Amino acid sequence: MKSFKLLAVICLVVVGVTDGMPFHASCKINWTFSLSCTNVQDKLVDQIGVWSGPTGCANGGEKCLYKLGSRNATQLEATHETPKQHYVDDLTFIFTQDTSKCNVTGLSRSETWYAVLDSGTNYCNLHNLIVGSGLDKTQGYSETTSNSICTQFTSANCAKY
């Protein structure tokens, strides 16, 4: 049985690499906001606080179990734990102030070493925080990613994950 699981993982890795997706379940997103990076970071920290407990896990949702790690002027680190399987994903936001705009790179990466496909969970880890904090409604907002840098981005269902 163990050899079958190993073979399945190897096949998924080969398919993923040839399909242009990341080698490991992960996501990279670039955002632009017409706000200061301090304001953007504060909104994300507040949203992580709102979703730190189990309340948003009701009915199969995953807008819960976020945990703030460290933060400084240019970087914010957090984690997200999936409520059912208790997998942990590491989140990093990198902030670059550009005159009146804040450019943010968001990264989510599964801690589970064998994770290849994730049904868009790593995308939703990041995207849900942006939407939950209302940053997607701010002037100058834009989001850029693709399947090649974000596992299963186009099939992500963030209402579920």
Determine what percent of the chain is predicted with pLDDT higher than 90. Answer: 70
Provide the pLDDT for residue 5.
55
Provide the pLDDT for residue 22.
64
Number of domains composing the chain: 1
Kindly report the CATH number assigned to the domain that includes residue 135: 3.30.310.80
Q: How confident is the model at residue 159 (pLDDT cuts 50, 70, 90)?
A: confident
Range of the domain at 30: 2-155
Please state whether beta strands 101-110 and 26-33 pair in parallel, antiparallel, or not at all (unpaired): antiparallel
Residue 125: CB atoms within 10 Å: 27
In a domain, 160, yes or no: no
CA 80 to chain centre: 8
In a domain, 161, yes or no: no
Q: How far apart are CA 105 and CA 110, in angstroms?
A: 17
Provide the pLDDT for residue 14.
47
Enter the pTM of the model: 0.85
| pLDDT beyond 70 at 72 | yes
| pLDDT beyond 80 at 32 | yes
In a domain, 24, yes or no: yes
In a domain, 137, yes or no: yes
